[in-house]
Amino acid sequence: MNLALKEHLKALEEGHINIEVRKDREKLGDILADDFFEIGSSGYFYDKKDCLDSGGVVLMQMTLHDYQIYPLATDVVMSTYFIEDTTRKRNTLRSSIWKRIDGRWQLYFHQGTITPMQLDAISKE
């Protein structure tokens, strides 16, 4: 596994869930691919415009754990991880697909699924 790529994508993923980034349309827009879409933990679909328009509305304090990457194709990687959401007092399992577009990694797809699992049940990095 490419450790440098894993750390780079993890930093981008942490930016995606960061309160300050989500409040900044330009920063969030740089992370999301133009054709980005998401299946939220709510069960609803969102696209880039939806996320940019509402990025700062529901701000949560979240921490990311057990980040893993899985190459799918040249310049396409899936990541999985666990989120501890202390604001809403719930946890989610997450997956993302990252694509290298015009020489930089952008978030193409994201999904969150609410889980009853707790942090101590997740493998440690």
| pLDDT tens, position by position, 53-107 | 876 555 577 889 999 999 999 999 999 999 998 888 889 999 999 999 999 999 9
Distance CA 111, CA 48 (A): 14
Whether 29 and 52 have beta carbons less than 8 Å apart is answered as: yes
**Percent of the chain, pLDDT > 70?**
92
Assess contact for 87 and 62: CB atoms under 8 A.
Answer: yes
Q: What share of the chain is helix, strand, coil (3-state, %, to 5)?
A: 30, 45, 25
Number of domains in the chain: 1
For the whole model, what pTM was predicted?
0.89
pLDDT at residue 14 is higher than 80: yes
Position 51 scores a pLDDT of 87
Q: Between residues 17 and 113, which one has the greater pLDDT?
A: 113
**Distance separating alpha carbons of residues 37 and 105, to the nearest angstrom:** 15
What CATH number corresponds to the domain at position 48? 3.10.450.50
Range of the domain at 44: 3-121
